[in-house]
Structure formats: C-alpha cells, structure tokens
Structure 1
Amino acid sequence: MKTFDVIVVGSGIAGLSFALGMGRAGHRVAIITKKNRAESNTNYAQGGIASVTSQTDDFELHVKDTLTAGDGLCDEAVVRAIISDGPARIQELIELGVDFTHLGDGRVSLHREGGHSKRRILHVKDLTGAAIEHALLDAVAACPKIEVLEHHMAIDLITFEKLRRKGMSVGPSRNRVVGLYALDSRQGVVDAFAARVVMLATGGGGQVYQYSTNPTIATGDGIAMAYRAGAEIRNMEFIQFHPTALFTYTHDRFLISEAVRGEGAILRNLKKEAFMARYDDRRDLAPRDVVARAIDSEMKKSGAQHLWLDITNQSEESLRDRFPTIFDALLKHGINMATDPIPVVPACHYLCGGVTTDLTARTSLPGLLACGEVACTGLHGANRLASNSLLEACVLARDGVASAEQILKETPLAARKLPDWVDGDMRDPDERVVLAHNLEELKRTMWDYVGIVRTTKRLRRAKTRISNLQQEIMEYYWNYKVEPDFLELRNLIQLAELIVDCALQRKESRGLHYTLDYPDLLPEAIDSVVQIHASMKRSVFPQH
C-alpha cells in the first residue's frame, strides 16, 4: 500500500493546478495519470481562456453571456463567483510563465468566440492549452512534495462502505473515500493507494461518440468511478458538439477553433450560401448548440457529408499569424484556409454535466473532490459558453486547495491498511477483439441515437444496446485480469448509460439537449440527477 496526503487523478490544468497548490502547502501529493504527464484534454485546447481583462468589458457582460448560453440552468451565484475570480487566476498563470499573445502595441490579444458579446479570450496563438500545460508541468516538476506516476490508470475508488462489504472493520465512521486502486500498465500490477483526499481531474468522455475532437484518453474515467462509489452525478445529457471539426474520411476530427468564426469566417452550405441568418440573429457567432443544430439541419436537408467554413476574406499572412497550428494542419490535408473553404462537420467536444460539486470542489462523497470537465459546478448550465472551461478549472482548483486543507485537518490519518488487489485464478484476456467490437458498437450507438437531435424512441434503443454491452463487459471484468483498454471501455459504457438516463429524465428541449418529442422549454429549469442505488453497489475487488 502506498500512502499520500492527497491523490490527484489526471494531469490537465485542473489536476496540476490543484496538486501544485497542495504541494507548495507542504502536503505529500501523488498525481496519477494513465499516459504520460503531458497527455490531457488541456493540451489540445486551442481557443483560450475567457476572462474580463479589457477596459471595454465588464463582469456583468460576461455573466450575462454565460447565463444566456446556459439556457436557464446555470447557478448564477456560481457564475458570478467564477467570473469575478478570473483576473486573479489569469495573473497566477502569467506568474507561472504563460506568455499570452500580445498585439503590436503591447496590449493582450483578445479573441472573440460564439456567444461572447466582447473580445475576452486570452490565448497563446492557437495552442493555449499546451502553453498552460507546459508551464504547470514545469512548476510541478520543481515541487519536491509532488510525485507524478505516469502510466497508472485508476480503477476504482475505495470507500469505508466497500471495505465493510469485504468484511473489514472500520468502526462506526460515516462513508468516505480512503483511497483507490490503480493499474501500473507497464508492470501489469494493481497497487492500492491510501489518501485522506482524492481529487478527480480526469477530464471528459468524448470518446463515447464515434466522432470527437477529444484525444483518445477522454474516456469518462472519473465520472464512472465517482458514480460506482456512490457520488451524485448530474446533467449528463448536455453534450456539446463543436460545430466545426475538419471533415475527413476517418474517425479523427481535428478541431477548427471557434475563434476562426470570431475572426470573420462564414458557414456556407454546399451551394456556397451563407445560411446562419435563417437560424439565429447572431449568425455565425451564435452559441455552439444553435450552430451545431443549424449545421445538422442543413446537412440532413441536402444529404451532404459536410458543409464549408469560409475565411478566404482574410489574408494568408494574417491567418498564419493568428492560427499557425490550424493553418499548418489544414495544409497537410491539402487545404489552404486563405484560399480554400474548409470542409467541416460537428463532433462531440465537451461534457457540461459530471460529478456534482460545490464551489470548493467538494462532491457528495466525503473525501472526494472533483475539478475541471469531470465536475458539474453549475457554471455551464445547459450549454457551456466558449472558453469558460479553462477559467472554471483554474478557479475551482484554487478553491479546492482550501477545501482539501480543511479535510486534512478533520482527518488526521490515512487508512492504516487497505487490502491488496487479488487477481486470484483470473487469466489473461484471450479475445481482445471483443473489446474492439464492443467499443465500436457503443460509439456508433451513441452517435446514431444520442446525438445532436434526439427522440425518446432513439434514447430507449440506445439504453437497450448499452445494457447488453454492460452485461458482456461485467462478465469480462470478473473473469479476466484488468488492462487499460478494458478499463476504459468499462468506463465508457458506464458513461453512456448515465448520459442516456439523464436524457430520458428531461421532458423538454433545453440548451444542448434537443428532442423532437419535447421541442419546448418547461417553465422551470431543473437539474437531472443520477445516483447509484445502494442495492447496486458492488465490491471493487475482482475475487468477490
């Protein structure tokens, strides 16, 4: 058993920021990351981080834009708290070495994206996430209290309740998280980690859909683990489909940042007609849910496989300067964005729901915190305003440090002993092709039945197929040794079930959830909530 004060699962902006705060406070911190430390959703974030930094902008405008995008489901108190804390968190990033792009006159360059009434997106060219990630990694490497464990995949959280089910005596203590099991994928062994605080910062789950802008690591691990441990999950039906991903004949979907539309790009159908005015007065700068549904509608009407994003009204010099990464990536596909329209389609991009937390990152399960895309704070509501996510991660990570400090004071010692993981007589998997087939079936099911436009019939069909996949994967779990591909599939199937269950709860069309059966809004915006039933909780131990 390995013991730390704090365990952080994930190495994006949320996890690294929190770990750095705890390590600098003198606590022993382990960062568990299933790939190398730089592989995270943050690293792929192109657009930037939204914050009020210009004299022509103000907090009230940012709050209004966020509430408008959230379609009535945002928690206004949370929105105000996060937005007002933004400038201080931006300054911390600058002090860490993040060099935001500046204009020739020395002012910070600010992009504008859909749903924003002002230019307020700070960025580092079009690789903002990578710049923030590298600055945080350098700071973490310089902190002796932080140990980074690469190629370790968290399997499940360990709670007092699960220890009691195993027959261990933990006294009358109320249920709480006391650690987790993680697979060292290079050694092929599972280790037990004890800690008084566990922070989930695992990002989202875009890989549950056939087409996604997310990296392959985005498999919903933290949400699935939290749900299995008994934490409350909410608003999982709100999946943000980015309107403009590069169309290719593979499943890969390279993101064309919303900032491209912010700089004047126009969406056109295959007849080269600009069509967004038919759907929204804000045209190409409407919020993502509106734009994604408009593109979906245009494609279905014409049978087109893609539409066009046209920014040929800008010079090549300007585009190379503003979007160097996107420009070069498109050139590799034979597209010069200064002279050629870009073929685009929507793709799964961001999960607005997740593990329910308060403004201090606490979940409903004592000892467990969550931050970043894995968490649902109330900021995004039914639709995330572009570039608010990195802001949320910075603010909640900072507030989570204070929360964790309090938990450590209340819990003086980590668990004295956690049982070892026992594989017993389990054998190595001999039919890995089953995993590949099940993953493809899951992704296709979610894309076809739980996409941009939904119906109750489609959702019920998806639920039936997901249930069948769950049964197969559980048989696999109890009979074979665990390995990363299997664990990710297990989590994705759990994630899919949560998305469908929340979608079936919502008898209206709000934000990112649009259903033909209930096209109108209900008078009151209510969260959808799921929590595992006590009778469904199972031991995390394979031998049981």
Structure 2
Amino acid sequence: MKAASAKNRPVIVVGAGIAGLATALRLAPLPVVVLTAGRLRENTSTAWAQGGIAAAMAGDDAPALHQADTEAAGVDLVDRAVARAVTEAAPACLDHLAALGVPFDRGADGVLAMGLEGAHSRHRVAHVGGDGSGAAILNSLIKAVGATPSIQVRERAAVEGLITASGRVQGVRVADTDLTGRAVVLATGGLSGLYADTTNPLGAAGRGLAMAARAGAAIADAEFVQFHPTAMAVGRDPMPLATEALRGEGATLVNRAGEPLMADTPGGDLAARDIIARRIHAALEAGDGVYLDGRSAIGDAFPSRYPAVTAACQRAGIDPARARIPVRPAAHYHMGGVAVDGSGRTTVEGLWACGEVAGSGLHGANRLASNSLLEGLAFARWIAEDIAGQTDVHRARTDDPGRTGTFSGMGASTWIRDCMSDYVGVVRSAAGLDRAIEALTPVAFDVQHRQADPALAGLFVATAAQRRTESRGGHLRDDCPQTRSPAPARASLTLADLAHSGSVPGVIDRTARALA
C-alpha cells in the first residue's frame, strides 16, 4: 500500500455523543467514519444532559476564575495545565456551537443567560431551554454532521474490539468485519451504567475503557466516580435527574421533617457534588428521607423553566410546584478514564480518546458542574488538529493483527450493578473492595464472557479505589476518612497491573493464566 492511499484511510470515531460528533466535524475535510451502537440520539449521555456548558463570558468573570473553581472542586488533583487550556477555550467553544445553530437561552438584550451551579463562584453556565441543553446541542451537531460530505455515520454498528498490530491500534472490529483507519478516536462515554442507581443510559458500561485497556492503554484516576446528589427517587431505571440549576435558582434540600439539610455546610445547597452526595447518603442510611424543595423558589415557573424535570415529576405523579421531589445520589459521571495527554493521545499509538471515556486530568477527584460537555468540545478540536498534523501515517497491516475486546450487549448485568453499588459506591471500605475485586476478576479476564468488558471496567474502579487509602472528592473510604496533605499523586493502572496485583488471594493465578 502506498503512503498516499494510507493517508486517505478514514479516521474512525467510536461514539456519537457530543465528543464524537464534535471531533468528526473538527476533522473535516479528512474522511471520517462515525460508529454508533444504536441510532443517532440513542444511548448517549449527551442527549440526557440537563446542565449546560460552563464558560467565563460575563463581565465579572474570567477564565482564571473558572480554572480556580475547577481546581477547587477537583480537590488538589486537577491537572492545572489542562484546566487552564480548557477554561481558556470555553468561550470559543460556545461561539462554535452558536455558529452551528445551537439556540442558547438569552436575555431580552440578546446576551447569553448564564446560570449558577454548584461550586461555581460566578454565573457562567449557558443552557438551552432551561434543562434541555444536551438534546438541543446534539440535534445541532447531528444536523451539521449530515451536511458534511467527509463524514459517514454508521448506525447500529457496535464495536466489538480494537485491532492492534506492532503496538499500534489499526482499526476496529464491527460485526465480524475489520475496519481499518489512519486513527481511532474513542468517544464512548462513561461507566455509570455499572451501578444499580444511575442517571446515565444503561449502555454506559465502560466498554470503551475496557477495549482501550485490552489494547494496552493506561487508565487514569479510575477510582473517582461522581454520584449526582439529586437523582429523582421515583422508581425508574435509569433515574431521572433533578438538574443542579434548580438549586442555583434557590431550591433547597430538606429532610423528611422539612429541615434544611445543607445549612451548616460551606456552600450550602451549592456545595460541590461530592459533599452533598455524602450528606444525602448519610441521611438516607440513618433512615431519614431527603427531598428537593423548589416550591417557593421556582413554583409555577417549573413547566416553562424546567420542562424535562417537570415531565419526569409528572410521570411519577408529582407536581414540583406543589410538592417536594424525593432524591438520592446516583452514579452520574466518571472523572477517570483512558489516560490522555493535552492532545487527547492515549498511551497506545493510533488511539485517541475524547469526552467522558478519557482521563485528561481536568476533573481531578470531583467534576465541576457543566464542565463535561465543555471538555468534549475543547478536546475535539485538539484531537482533530493532532491527527491532521500526523506526518507518519501508518499503512494497514497485512499480517494477522490482534483483536481486543468482547461483545457484551448494551449494558451491565444486574449482579455487576449490585456489586458495584454495594462495594464500590458512595462509601467504600477495604473489605468491600476486596469482595468486589474477587467477584469481578474471573469475569473480567474471561474474554469469552459477554460481561467481560463491564466487569473489567468495574475492576479498574475497584482496584484503584483499593489502592487510594484516603478519602478525596468522589472517592470516600470509611476506613480511611482522612484527606491527605499534600495530595497523593494521580495514579494510573494497566491491564497487567490488575493481573499481577495479587491483592486478593487466588486472583493473581487466575488472571496471570488469562493473560498468558
């Protein structure tokens, strides 16, 4: 194969949420193939996102303040260079979306209406339709992709694994067919679907992370899972989300007796998510109930200001203008992921990662509200620039390549979700983490098992949580409640690390045999 024809091979983007579609658009006019397991708009967390995009655009704000809030929320584990780059890029990201036709909420003067969310020191969150930001942004991106001739979208194309040769990712395997490309970008989302209580699509089960790990990629900050404090406890799976913007407008968290839950906590109802989730979890464990009360602050404006929240409440027989909304924490976001540098490159040649699947260091131990969609947009540009600037474009291998990954259907099984919630949830302990590791390991290393990838993703979280013997951000150990100072460094793990950890009796022998 000639070098010229190698350069004409497409960039393969796995995933069709904001990270995947934004990357595809930024790559134009390079040929791109976007693969999505379902139909467009299906099974993507972007479409469900009620929060907006944070950007320092108001007169009293600045990227440096946004960066400071990001670092404070991340509890001393944020990569400062990444935080600086992302927060400085944020205004341009909003301008880019506006140019694509995203109808951001604006005041009568035409200026963006910026909302206030937890742990932000300024009003800096741009929304669409109050709580419909994700769906509106996704619609605009899909329209733009459809108008871009260099982008081909393949729906119902579940990626079964990565194709590797000579230490480089060469492509992906879809329905027993090999698709090779000049680069592969993972934009597969997170792993909150591994938990029994989740606000994410159930297909968000860590398959992208697992595929990357099986190809040799390092996984960073895996222990840090964000549990959104105000998922609606209305008997639905996944759980509907009561957006943080409600508390930004004055809604309060109260116990069963109607007493304020967060009154004695710095930041109150707008404290960082990990702090509020812990408080709610403790109240529920003590037998109390926790509710979000927006009757006074929002009242009859609920349907017009927050139509998605109102609809979810009405389906449960609740009128949020007249009644309190029962809430509890639910897995919402993974701060960790496939380790990447400032250009989105993983530790394996030929493989990039964007969005929630990536562990960029932006979020540290706890994500600042409305920084997730922003991260996907910012890194989409940098990844596209990096791939477009590659001068050494490798030709497809003609020998028999290796293939990684397993096909596990659309979600994690009930036993994995229960295991993760019981032992790797809001509160963790050494004993519980040992149980999770022992249960997950045999399945994670049995590549013929349909649940191997979700089990492996969960195993990364549990093992990293076992190794971090302190409490920080989204990682709470009741047997190690202290937060160390200075903070222990960010940590990464590989598949080989899991196989040879020997942290649970019997595990090392089984996993070593699986890797042999």
**With structure 2 as the length reference, what TM-score do the two structures score?**
0.90
1:520 aligned onto 2:482:
yes
Distance in 2 (CA, whole Å) between partners of 1:35 and 1:437 is 13
C-alpha deviation, 1:437, in angstroms: 12
Of residues 106, 115, 121, the one that matches 2:119 is 115
For residue 37 of structure 1, what is the aligned residue in structure 2?
40
For residue 234 of structure 1, what is the aligned residue in structure 2?
220
For residue 331 of structure 1, what is the aligned residue in structure 2?
314
For residue 506 of structure 2, what is the aligned residue in structure 1?
none
Of residues 300, 303, 312, the one that matches 2:295 is 312
What are the residue-to-residue correspondences of 1:225-264 with 2, within 5 Å? 225-264=211-250
1:457 aligned onto 2:431:
yes
- SS of the aligned residue for 1:85 comes to helix
Q: Deviations over 1:66-119 (max 9, x none)?
A: 110000000111101110011111111000010101123322111111110111
- SS of the aligned residue for 1:533 comes to helix
- SS of the aligned residue for 1:415 comes to coil
What are the residue-to-residue correspondences of 1:398-437 with 2, within 5 Å? 398-407=381-390, 409-411=391-393, 413-416=395-398
C-alpha deviation, 1:336, in angstroms: 1.1
For residue 494 of structure 2, what is the aligned residue in structure 1?
531
Of residues 169, 172, 183, the one that matches 1:177 is 169
For residue 171 of structure 1, what is the aligned residue in structure 2?
none
Letter in 2 for 1:319: F
- SS of the aligned residue for 1:410 comes to coil
C-alpha deviation, 1:441, in angstroms: 1.0
Aligned in 2, Cα 1:75/1:503: closer, same or farther, shift over 3 Å?
same
Distance in 1 (CA, whole Å) between partners of 2:206 and 2:498 is 23
Letter in 1 for 2:395: L
What are the residue-to-residue correspondences of 1:306-385 with 2, within 5 Å? 306-385=289-368
Letter in 2 for 1:55: G
For residue 511 of structure 2, what is the aligned residue in structure 1?
none
Aligned in 2, Cα 1:360/1:112: closer, same or farther, shift over 3 Å?
same
For residue 66 of structure 1, what is the aligned residue in structure 2?
70
Query: Do the aligned partners of 1:204 and 1:351 also contact (CA within 8 Å) in 2?
Result: yes
For residue 391 of structure 1, what is the aligned residue in structure 2?
374
- SS of the aligned residue for 2:158 comes to strand
For residue 128 of structure 1, what is the aligned residue in structure 2?
133
Distance in 2 (CA, whole Å) between partners of 1:413 and 1:436 is 32
1:211 aligned onto 2:193:
no
- SS of the aligned residue for 1:107 comes to coil
Aligned in 2, Cα 1:42/1:249: closer, same or farther, shift over 3 Å?
closer
C-alpha deviation, 1:522, in angstroms: 2.2
Q: Deviations over 1:193-237 (max 9, x none)?
A: 111200000000111001100012211111000000001101111
For residue 272 of structure 2, what is the aligned residue in structure 1?
287
Aligned in 2, Cα 1:102/1:522: closer, same or farther, shift over 3 Å?
same
Of residues 204, 207, 223, the one that matches 2:209 is 223
Distance in 1 (CA, whole Å) between partners of 2:457 and 2:269 is 32
Distance in 2 (CA, whole Å) between partners of 1:149 and 1:91 is 28
Aligned in 2, Cα 1:315/1:201: closer, same or farther, shift over 3 Å?
closer
Query: Do the aligned partners of 1:235 and 1:527 also contact (CA within 8 Å) in 2?
Result: yes
Letter in 1 for 2:82: V
Note the residue ranges of structure 1 that are not aligned, 5 or more in a row.
Answer: 162-174, 184-189, 422-428, 478-485, 538-543
Aligned in 2, Cα 1:158/1:536: closer, same or farther, shift over 3 Å?
farther
Of residues 414, 417, 431, the one that matches 1:443 is 417
Aligned in 2, Cα 1:105/1:316: closer, same or farther, shift over 3 Å?
farther
For residue 157 of structure 1, what is the aligned residue in structure 2?
162
Letter in 2 for 1:19: A
Query: Do the aligned partners of 2:16 and 2:40 also contact (CA within 8 Å) in 1?
Result: yes
Letter in 1 for 2:453: N
C-alpha deviation, 1:321, in angstroms: 2.0
Q: Deviations over 1:21-67 (max 9, x none)?
A: 21x22x22111110112221111111100001111211221111111
Distance in 1 (CA, whole Å) between partners of 2:207 and 2:413 is 15
Aligned in 2, Cα 1:123/1:250: closer, same or farther, shift over 3 Å?
closer
Distance in 1 (CA, whole Å) between partners of 2:412 and 2:250 is 42
Letter in 2 for 1:440: T
Distance in 1 (CA, whole Å) between partners of 2:456 and 2:216 is 13
Query: Do the aligned partners of 1:192 and 1:420 also contact (CA within 8 Å) in 2?
Result: no
Q: Which moved more, 1:105-114 or 1:136-145?
A: 105-114
- SS of the aligned residue for 1:346 comes to strand
Distance in 2 (CA, whole Å) between partners of 1:420 and 1:58 is 48
C-alpha deviation, 1:317, in angstroms: 3.9
Q: Which moved more, 1:98-107 or 1:78-87?
A: 98-107
Query: Do the aligned partners of 2:202 and 2:238 also contact (CA within 8 Å) in 1?
Result: no
Distance in 1 (CA, whole Å) between partners of 2:359 and 2:184 is 17
C-alpha deviation, 1:310, in angstroms: 0.2
**With structure 1 as the length reference, what TM-score do the two structures score?**
0.86
C-alpha deviation, 1:315, in angstroms: 4.7
Identity of aligned residues (%): 39
Letter in 1 for 2:104: F
1:297 aligned onto 2:261:
no
Q: Deviations over 1:292-335 (max 9, x none)?
A: 0000111112x14x411001113544222211121122112111
For residue 20 of structure 1, what is the aligned residue in structure 2?
25
- SS of the aligned residue for 1:152 comes to coil
- SS of the aligned residue for 2:263 comes to helix
For residue 56 of structure 1, what is the aligned residue in structure 2?
60
Aligned in 2, Cα 1:436/1:371: closer, same or farther, shift over 3 Å?
closer
Note the residue ranges of structure 2 that are not aligned, 5 or more in a row.
Answer: 1-5, 501-515
